[in-house]
Amino acid sequence: ATQPYDDDNLFAKILRDEIPSKRVYEDDYAIAFHDIAPQAPTHLLVIPRGRYVSWDDFSTRASEAEIAGFVRAVGTVARAAGMVEPGYRLLANTGGHGGQEVPHLHVHIFAGRPLGPMLA
């Protein structure tokens, strides 16, 4: 079972602009901003506006419109940043074993160098 959504989590505060972030994109469904500790030359985070703890919470509870809007936003951010060629990587850490640190769904976008094989 998914934990209840915490309105005081870091990304909830970034959504409300209570904590500053370097936003690169926003629409009705999602916002995107630079990760504070980039693991690649380009490292962005895309989050839905809705109150979802994780990929699991979102994929089971969100409406079709929210799911479509979020997926489209992830693609739009990568495309707008010119990452489609030569390519990029998406990652959604989920839960404890997934190494998720912030309990609001976020998809990482990594790009800007050859990323090599997937790490364990």
Task: Catalogue the E-assigned strands of 1-120.
Answer: 23-26, 30-34, 42-48, 88-91, 107-111
Looking at the DSSP assignment, which residues form a beta bridge with residue 88? 111
If one asks whether residue 102 binds ligand 5GP (CB under 6 A), the answer comes out as yes
Contacting residue, 2, 10, 61, 67, with ligand 5GP by CB under 6 A: 10
Interacting residues with ligand 5GP between 67 and 96 (CB under 6 A):
93
Alpha helices in the chain (DSSP H): 10-15, 55-61, 64-80
Contacting residue, 2, 9, 26, 35, with ligand 5GP by CB under 6 A: 35
If one asks whether residue 37 binds ligand 5GP (CB under 6 A), the answer comes out as yes
From 53, 45, 51, 49, select the one nearest 96 (Cα to Cα). 53
Q: Which residues are catalytic?
A: 106
Contacting residue, 41, 101, 118, 119, with ligand 5GP by CB under 6 A: 101
Residues in touch with ligand 5GP (CB under 6 A) = 10, 19, 21, 33-37, 93, 99-102
